[in-house]
Structures are given as C-alpha cells and as structure tokens.
Amino acid sequence: MRRSGRVAAALAVAVALAACGEGDTIQNAGDRPEPTTAPTPAPTVPGTMPATVPGSAPGSVPGSEPVGSAPSGSDPATTPAPTVPPVTVAPSTTQPTLLDTLPPCPVDALDDVDGTVEITFWHGMAANLEQELAVLTDRYNASQSKVRVELQNQGGYEQVIDKYLQSGQSSRPELAQAPEYAVQEFRDTEAFVPVEACFEGAGFDRQALLPAARNAYSTEGVQWSMPFNLSNPVLFYNRATFAAAGLDPDTPPRSLEELEQASRQIVESGAASYGLVVDTNFDSGGGWYIEQWFAKAGEFYSDNENGRSAPATRVMFDGPTGVDLLTYLQNLVANAGGFNVGDNASGQDAFLKIADQNAPGAMTIGTSAALGTVLAAVDAGIAPGIVREDIGIGPMPGPNGSGIVVVGGASIWISADKGDAETAAAWDYVQFLASAEVQSEWASVTGYVPIRQDAAEVEPLATTYAEDPRFKVAYDSLIETPDEPTAVGPLLGPQRAIRVLTSRALATVLGGGDPATALAEAAAQANTLLAQYNSTR
C-alpha cells in the first residue's frame, strides 16, 4: 500500500495550483501505470539488477504504498504456460536460519571510533514525506557527533531497488528503503545484515514492534529489515454523500456485500453519479484487491504458506476464490454503480473522481498514508464543495467484513560488508527511527502507521488519534490482524512482475473479459516467473 508518494507529489502540485471454497459467495467467504502489453522481465539473478517493467512511470509509490523474472527476451503474455507444479511440502531448509551464518551486526563498533562516521541512506519518499524524513534525520545528526546520515532520494521504491541491485557492493549505500514486495528479492542477494542480528547484539526488544510489522519482513526465522513507514489500504468516502443517500456516515461498509449495496444505493438515490471508484494499477487496486482479499478470506495466495515456509513454486489466486473476487468486481462496475479509472497513472485519479464536479464517485480504496495529503488538498480548495469534515475513513472492506490487512509501505535494510563502524552507525540511526517518540511524530505528520504500539501512547500521536480517529483506522486494522500465515501476505521473488500480471487480469475482467480465463492466464505466466526465479537462487 503503497502509492502515497506519488499521491503526495501529485496532490501537492494540485494544491499549489488551486469462501468461496465451500460454495458461498465471495461476500461471505472465510503505498506504476499498467503496461498495455505484459512485462518482459529478465532473469533475476541474486545480486543483479532486474529488468524494469516496460512502459512504467518513473518511480514506484512509497506508501502503499510497488522486475521479476522470465526467460530472457520472452514475454509472459506469450510464454507457453508451464506444467503447474504441485503444492510442495516445505523442505528441511525451512528451519530457522542461524544468525552465525549471516553477516554480523557489530553494534558496539562506534565505541572505538574517533571522529564522525558518514553513511548514506537511499530512499523513495516524496513531497511532505521526504520533508519529514529530512526533519527527523537533521534532528538525529544534531543529537550526536558519532554519525552523520546523508539522505539521497532515488525517485521512488523501484528506483531504489533497481539501482541497488545494479550497483556493486562498494558503491551501494549503507542503508536502503524498500517496499514489502522486495523482501524475497533483497533477502536472496545475501547483501544485507539482518536486523535480527542487530536486535541480538543491542538487546533490542523486537516484541515492541507490532506483530504484523515483524511478520511482513521476516522469513526463515529471521527478521531481515526494520519496518519504517507502514500503511495499508483503507476506504475513503464522502460522508456528505453517504448522508444524502440515506446511509449512516459513521458506519461505512465493511463486507463486500455491504460495499456493493452502498454503491448501488448511492447511485440509485442520485447522491452521486458513482458509488465505488476502482483502479487497476499494479501497486494499488491491481495488486491489492486479490492479495488483501485473499488474506481477509483466510486463503493462501501461493503455495508453501505464501512462500514463507519455503520458496513459493506456484500461485493459487486462479482458484474459486480469485474467480469469485474478480466476478464480484466486474458485476460491481457493470451493474452496481462502480467506476473504473483504469491504471491510475497519476496516483490520484481515483481520489479526483470523488472530487469530480460533473460525475463524482463516493468511495475509493486508497493507501492510509495518503490521508494527510488528501486533507491538506481539501483544505486548499482542490475539491469545491468538499470540506475536511466530509472525508470519511473506514477499514478496507472485504470477505466476512474482516479487519485483516496485509502490511504495505516499506522498511530499511542495512548493507553488509561496509565496515564495522558503518554497520554500527547504520543500526544506530535505524534504532532512532524505530523509537516510540520518532514513530509517534512520523505517524502523526504523515498518516503512516507506527511500527510499535507504544508510539500511539506518546505525543503527538496520542492526541492525533484522540482528536481525529480517521488517522487511527489503519493502525486499528493492523492491531486486529492476527498472527496467522494467511494474514501475512505473499513473499515472492518476482512479486513486482506478478502484480503487473494480476493488474492486467483485472483490467481485462473490468473490460468484460472472463474472470476464470484471465486469472488462469495470469497464474500460468506467474508460475513461469517463479520457476525461472527459483532456478537462479
């Protein structure tokens, strides 16, 4: 969830300018533009740069806040579907990795340093997010003389990922920010110090972190990176429109059935031209709907427990649950007042549809990290007739009305082989950003979710949550998310490319295509990518 950086940048400019498995229906079941042709990912060899999806917009979107592998020169859209491998049983390699086989974290190395250790942090934050990161970093630099952190904005998550993998170890930074869909890819480079090692060396209490945050960046019994900017999808809706349609603005829909009913009632009442506004971008709707709704339904997205007990060998989104989900969306857009803005290339198309003066929508699903920016845009008059109080926030609706969400956003990775003092300096800064006080300020200013529960109990976040509960909705969803394998979300090497495939499948279905056929084709291509990726690990 992971589109907030692009939303922030785009809206900042605008402000300046003025169960299925048991036969039930899916409603009752348990933070880049989508290319017109499928991506042509090159083989992903650990430690090398993956190909960028052709036709993509610059950057990926921090916050939601989003290239895999296929035989060189091939196109997943035309590559023959492989024989689908069976669901595999986790091999012996699923035992927790011993930390003494991984790069160490000499947390005390700064004690013997004279002078200042300079380290570099590659990040993908934009607009107000980058500004607040700079404020925090300046504060850290001024608080002590041992470490100086230099921020280098790479333009987006994807640029960070690709530049890091393309660079040699000597030219890589000490710290890199990467989204949740890069965990397997980064872990397989063997180029990082796992923060688990830093936890042990420093006596850091990892239990202070939200379980969902720990789980998102862990596999093989090891937490690889430190979560920093957490987000998840939430429902944005116009409270005034809800009231005009006879809906309770204090009770937004939570189940898919309620979402469809609300969308239909809004249109039939004449309160708005459209109910739910959807999009097909790989780093929002095209990736979120299936991944998030599978978790809410208690279903695995891929084999081997979403790739977390062992590397995934096949996706499972083309079964009855996936078909019912896309059939539901197809019907909602065609018959229940939904509106599809397409690939949402600007990152703000769905939000702007709600502000459309001629044919407005009433609801959309967006990253929680966009809330602060959306409120600032409304305050600046970008949406005539809509005021701050009209913006409603609810949990992302889904099967069963479950509050479960898959973690989005990004984490911070510590590079290995940069020297003991540099590793210790990187950890010292990461530990600063992970503190309750810093997380409280970061979440209050940006709308991100704090990575630890005690951050919600200190200022300024305690007051923010008390005075404006909209900022707390995403946090409550993470608290509600259970510590269960299906709720953690998929961990796939070529996850970027697979999300592009599901986004294309969604676009096909919303254009009238057959859901089962679209998903079967996407799954076959995804399994080819997984097989190729696994062959190079």
* Residue 241 near residue 355, CB atoms below 8 Å: no
What letter does residue 472 receive in the DSSP assignment? Answer: G
Q: What is the mean pLDDT of residues 245-262?
A: 98
Q: Which residue has the higher pLDDT, 54 or 239?
A: 239
- Percent of the chain clearing pLDDT 70 (strictly above): 82
Q: What is the mean pLDDT of residues 195-222?
A: 93
Quickly state the pLDDT bin for 181 (edges 50, 70, 90). very high
What letter does residue 309 receive in the DSSP assignment? Answer: S
Q: What is the mean pLDDT of residues 116-143?
A: 96
What tokens does 401 get? 């009305």
Phi and psi angles of residue 192, each rounded to the nearest 5 degrees, phi first: -130, 150
pLDDT of residue 62: 46
Nearest to 252 by CA among 392, 156, 357: 392
Phi and psi angles of residue 460, each rounded to the nearest 5 degrees, phi first: -95, -5
Q: Is the pLDDT of residue 10 over 90?
A: no
Q: Beta strands 363-367 and 391-395: pairing type?
A: unpaired
Quickly state the pLDDT bin for 16 (edges 50, 70, 90). very low
DSSP-derived 3-state class of residue 249: coil
Quickly state the pLDDT bin for 92 (edges 50, 70, 90). very low
pLDDT of residue 21: 35
Q: What is the mean pLDDT of residues 281-286?
A: 92
Q: Is the pLDDT of residue 9 over 60?
A: no
Q: Is the pLDDT of residue 27 over 80?
A: no
Nearest to 425 by CA among 100, 115, 218, 99: 115
What letter does residue 115 receive in the DSSP assignment? Answer: S
Quickly state the pLDDT bin for 483 (edges 50, 70, 90). confident
* Residue 32 near residue 158, CB atoms below 8 Å: yes
Quickly state the pLDDT bin for 2 (edges 50, 70, 90). very low
pLDDT of residue 234: 96
Q: Which residue has the higher pLDDT, 2 or 513?
A: 513
pLDDT of residue 220: 83
Q: Is the pLDDT of residue 271 over 70?
A: yes
pLDDT of residue 227: 97
Q: Which residue has the higher pLDDT, 473 or 16?
A: 473
* CATH number at 99-231+409-475+482-488: 3.40.190.10
Nearest to 423 by CA among 174, 147, 150, 152: 174
CB-CB neighbours of 270 under 10 Å:
9
Listed in order, strand segments (DSSP E) in 285-439 are 339-340, 363-367, 391-395, 408-415
Q: Is the pLDDT of residue 35 over 70?
A: no
Quickly state the pLDDT bin for 55 (edges 50, 70, 90). very low
With 0.85 as the threshold, say if the pTM is over it.
Answer: no
Q: Is the pLDDT of residue 419 over 90?
A: yes
Quickly state the pLDDT bin for 25 (edges 50, 70, 90). very low
Q: Beta strands 276-278 and 363-367: pairing type?
A: parallel
Quickly state the pLDDT bin for 127 (edges 50, 70, 90). confident
Q: Beta strands 117-123 and 147-153: pairing type?
A: parallel
What tokens does 202 get? 């420093």
Q: What is the mean pLDDT of residues 230-259?
A: 97
- SS3 per-residue string spanning 38-100: CCCCCCCCCCCCCCCCCCCCCCCCCCCCCCCCCCCCCCCCCCCCCCCCCCCCCCHHHCCCCHH
Phi and psi angles of residue 134, each rounded to the nearest 5 degrees, phi first: -65, -40
Phi and psi angles of residue 307, each rounded to the nearest 5 degrees, phi first: 80, 15
Mean pLDDT of the chain: 85
pLDDT of residue 98: 62
Domain ranges of the chain: 99-231+409-475+482-488
pLDDT of residue 423: 98
Q: Which residues contact 274 (CB under 8 A, 6 or more apart)?
A: 263, 266, 267, 337, 338, 339, 353, 359, 360, 361, 362
CB-CB neighbours of 87 under 10 Å:
12
* Residue 487 near residue 307, CB atoms below 8 Å: no
